[in-house]
Amino acid sequence: MGVGVAAVVVASALLVLFVGRALAVRKQVTRLDGALADAFADRLRRHREQMSQLQRTVALLEYDAVADAAHAIQDEPPIARPEEDAPSEDPRASFPPAFFELQDVLHAHVRELGLAARARDDRRLGQAYGRIAETCVRCHALFRQVR
């Protein structure tokens, strides 16, 4: 088994183990107010669907589908960091600072995934997907720690 395929298998196993944890994040987010909570819940559902799609398309080396999915993820605007002097009622202030860092890390890994897919490089593809899955797990764990 090649390194790229092994990375996909390991990352897929991690994803299967932790995808249920998305519900725990959703419960944490419901404490936020209004539109941001709704936007984050919608984003979480989209990411869950996108990760399922990526898991399948990466494992099957469907390069064009992977590149399209990576492009769609990259096109989604990030949740903006709260201003330093933002009022305490700004719901983004409830997000741990590491969330915003992980959001940036995720986008960098997704960019690499898209580049690997366009290059049809299965080793880089598996490695990039593994880093994306690891970032998802780190973010989910971050919200579990906040609760």
Q: For 86-122, write each residue's pLDDT tens digit.
A: 776 677 777 888 999 999 999 999 999 999 999 999 9
Residue with tokens 């780190």: 138
What domain range is 111 assigned to? Answer: 3-76+91-146
Confidence check: pLDDT of 147 > 70: no
18, part of any domain: yes
Within a domain: 81: no
What is the mean predicted confidence (pLDDT) over 23-34?
47
Total of domains in the chain: 1
Can you give the length of the chain in residues? 147
In a domain, residue 83? The reply is no
Distances (CA, A) of 7 to 4, 33, 44, 139: 5, 38, 24, 20
> Within a domain: residue 116?
yes
User: What integer is the mean pLDDT of 38-59?
Assistant: 87
Is 16 within a domain? yes
Handedness of CA 8, 55, 28, 111 (dihedral sign): positive
- What's the CA gap between 3 and 122, in Å, rounded? 9
User: pLDDT at residue 57 above 80?
Assistant: yes
CATH of the domain at 96: 1.20.120
Mean pLDDT of 36-63: 87
Please give the pLDDT value at position 112.
Answer: 98
Q: What percentage of the chain exceeds 70 in pLDDT? A: 69
136 within some domain: yes
Contacts of 76 (CB under 8 A, 6+ apart): 43, 46
Confidence of residue 30 (pLDDT cuts 50, 70, 90): very low
Domain annotation covers residue 85? no
- Nearest-angstrom CA–CA distance, 118 and 140: 29
